[in-house]
């Protein structure tokens, strides 16, 4: 019996040394010191001993039990220490590594150009007037002095809806009459920013959708000098005070007289290059005095009222300012392009 006790105790110590996890430890405890464990069984076997041997055996059994319990606690502490060391090792953070910067978005170049332009006109007293992208034929053409069959309609290839009277505006001029009818009989000074659509071949210079910023001023004494003064001041503020400007006579059905405005080419400083096609000038917008017919459609008597209007393409203007070579970058969604803003 005594021998058996020592043998069990030795095996139990060996097994304890082999325990490498909390699970192992728990199993060991159950097998060895638990209610149905070996030590318990050994103490039950005491009845088979001669009465004289029992006290010595009981004493030794208690000692063994105490030793095993102590060994258990020791092993447990050891394992805990190991586990902690392991965890620290695995979760180690190298604080000297450079951080990863989260990608922050920026304004789309188009939005940025539009805002810069609108801010300049805003500083000059123009309010922003919002008008819809989908309009009837009348607002886009007829009220702008382009009755059906008018040849100028062909200048702007149009996207129609299933209803031939409803279309995607080809220019922000479509909002002119809406503004007039809302403000009449008060004077007007507004800019109309928005997307325009034309059913055209897409090239480096033309897209099927693009923004425009329309300007419209109506008052009792507005002259061509006001138009020139406003636009020259805009060009100075947007492109810089050293840019030269010029107006060329042009034609639009809804303005009379009409003009186009150029600025001196910033790439070659007027000497002539590929971008300005050797002319030294870059076209930035169309403009003119509001046609009497248009004023009348808007509710204003052209005998008493006059006005000027202009229409500019922010993408084109931005291309000139930032030296971009292809308008298709704007909707190409290439982050390498977009990130530069």
> Judged by CB under 6 A, does residue 311 bind ligand PHE?
yes
Nearer to ligand PHE by Cβ, of 131 and 255: the residue is 255
Joined together, the tokens standing for residue 26 give 């728990």
Q: Tell the smallest beta-carbon distance from residue 207 to ligand PHE (Å).
A: 13
Q: Tell the smallest beta-carbon distance from residue 196 to ligand PHE (Å).
A: 7
Q: Tell the smallest beta-carbon distance from residue 259 to ligand PHE (Å).
A: 8
Measured from each CB, the residue nearest to ligand PHE is 311
Taking Cα atoms as reference points, which of 228, 215, 222 lies closest to residue 262?
Answer: 228
Tell me how far apart the alpha carbons of residues 302 and 180 are, in angstroms, rounded to a whole number.
13
Tell me how far apart the alpha carbons of residues 146 and 161 are, in angstroms, rounded to a whole number.
19
Question: Binding segment for ligand PHE among 101-109, 201-209, 286-294, 326-334 (CB under 6 A)?
Answer: 286-294
> Judged by CB under 6 A, does residue 255 bind ligand PHE?
yes
- Angle (CA) 248 254 257, round 5°: 35
Taking Cα atoms as reference points, which of 254, 310, 263, 255 lies closest to residue 287?
Answer: 310
Q: Which of 238, 297, 300, 310 binds ligand PHE (CB under 6 A)?
A: 310
Taking Cα atoms as reference points, which of 210, 206, 176, 196 lies closest to residue 310?
Answer: 176
Tell me how far apart the alpha carbons of residues 188 and 232 are, in angstroms, rounded to a whole number.
20
Interface pattern 130-169 for ligand PHE (x via CB under 6 A): ----------------------------------------
> Judged by CB under 6 A, does residue 281 bind ligand PHE?
no
> Judged by CB under 6 A, does residue 234 bind ligand PHE?
no
Question: Binding segment for ligand PHE among 92-100, 128-136, 182-190, 285-293 (CB under 6 A)?
Answer: 285-293
Q: Which of 309, 317, 320, 324 binds ligand PHE (CB under 6 A)?
A: 309
> Judged by CB under 6 A, does residue 171 bind ligand PHE?
yes
Tell me how far apart the alpha carbons of residues 187 and 305 are, in angstroms, rounded to a whole number.
9
Question: 308, 226 in Cβ contact below 8 A?
Answer: yes
> Judged by CB under 6 A, does residue 173 bind ligand PHE?
yes
> Judged by CB under 6 A, does residue 317 bind ligand PHE?
no
For residue 11, the 8-state DSSP code is H
The number of residues that bind ligand PHE (CB under 6 A) is 11
Q: Tell the smallest beta-carbon distance from residue 297 to ligand PHE (Å).
A: 15
Nearer to ligand PHE by Cβ, of 197 and 329: the residue is 197
Joined together, the tokens standing for residue 293 give 């017919």
Q: How many CA atoms lie within 13 A of 322 on its CB side?
A: 20
Nearer to ligand PHE by Cβ, of 172 and 264: the residue is 172
Taking Cα atoms as reference points, which of 220, 226, 216 lies closest to residue 290?
Answer: 216
Q: Which of 287, 289, 295, 324 binds ligand PHE (CB under 6 A)?
A: 287
Nearer to ligand PHE by Cβ, of 224 and 337: the residue is 224
Peptide bond into 283 cis (omega under 30): no
Taking Cα atoms as reference points, which of 200, 176, 201, 136 lies closest to residue 298?
Answer: 176
Q: Hey, how many other C-beta atoms are within 10 angstroms of the C-beta on 98?
A: 5
> Judged by CB under 6 A, does residue 291 bind ligand PHE?
no
Q: Tell the smallest beta-carbon distance from residue 313 to ligand PHE (Å).
A: 8
> Judged by CB under 6 A, does residue 286 bind ligand PHE?
yes
Using DSSP's 3-state secondary structure scheme, residue 259 falls into strand
> Judged by CB under 6 A, does residue 175 bind ligand PHE?
no
Residue 292, C-beta contacts closer than 8 angstroms, at least 6 positions apart? 256, 302
Q: Which residues of the shown chain bind ligand PHE in the complex (CB under 6 A)?
A: 171, 173, 214, 252, 255, 286-288, 309-311
């Amino acid at each position: 019996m005594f021998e058996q006790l020592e043998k069990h105790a030795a095996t139990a110590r060996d097994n304890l040394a082999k325990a490498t996890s909390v699970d192992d430890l728990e199993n060991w405890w159950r097998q060895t010191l638990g209610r149905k464990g070996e030590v318990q069984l050994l103490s039950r076997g005491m009845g088979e001993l001669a009465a004289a041997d029992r006290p010595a055996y009981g004493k030794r059994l208690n000692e063994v039990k105490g030793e095993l319990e102590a060994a258990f606690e020791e092993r447990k502490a050891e394992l805990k220490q190991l586990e902690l060391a392991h965890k620290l090792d695995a979760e180690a953070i190298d604080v000297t590594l450079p951080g990863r910067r989260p990608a922050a978005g920026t304004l789309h170049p188009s939005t940025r150009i539009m805002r810069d332009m609108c801010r300049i006109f805003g500083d000059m007293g123009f309010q922003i007037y919002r008008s819809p992208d989908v309009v009837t034929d009348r607002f886009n053409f007829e009220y702008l002095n382009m009755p059906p069959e008018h040849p100028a309609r062909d200048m702007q290839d149009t996207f129609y809806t299933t209803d031939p009277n409803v279309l995607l505006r080809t220019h922000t001029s479509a909002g002119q009459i809406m503004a007039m009818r809302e403000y009449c009989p008060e004077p007007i000074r507004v800019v109309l920013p928005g997307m325009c659509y034309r059913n055209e071949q897409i090239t480096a210079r033309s897209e099927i959708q693009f923004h425009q910023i329309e300007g419209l001023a109506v008052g009792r004494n507005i002259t061509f000098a006001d138009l020139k003064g406003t636009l020259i001041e805009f060009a100075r503020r947007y492109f810089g005070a050293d840019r030269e400007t010029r107006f060329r006579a042009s034609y639009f059905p809804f303005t009379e007289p009409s003009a186009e405005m150029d600025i001196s080419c910033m790439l070659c400083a007027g000497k002539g290059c590929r971008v300005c096609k050797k002319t030294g000038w870059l076209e930035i917008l169309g403009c003119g005095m509001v046609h009497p017919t248009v004023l009348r459609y808007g509710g204003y008597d052209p005998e008493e009222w006059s006005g000027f209007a202009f229409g500019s393409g922010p993408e084109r203007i931005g291309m000139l300012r930032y030296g971009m070579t292809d308008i298709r970058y704007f909707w190409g969604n290439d982050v390498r392009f977009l990130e530069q803003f």
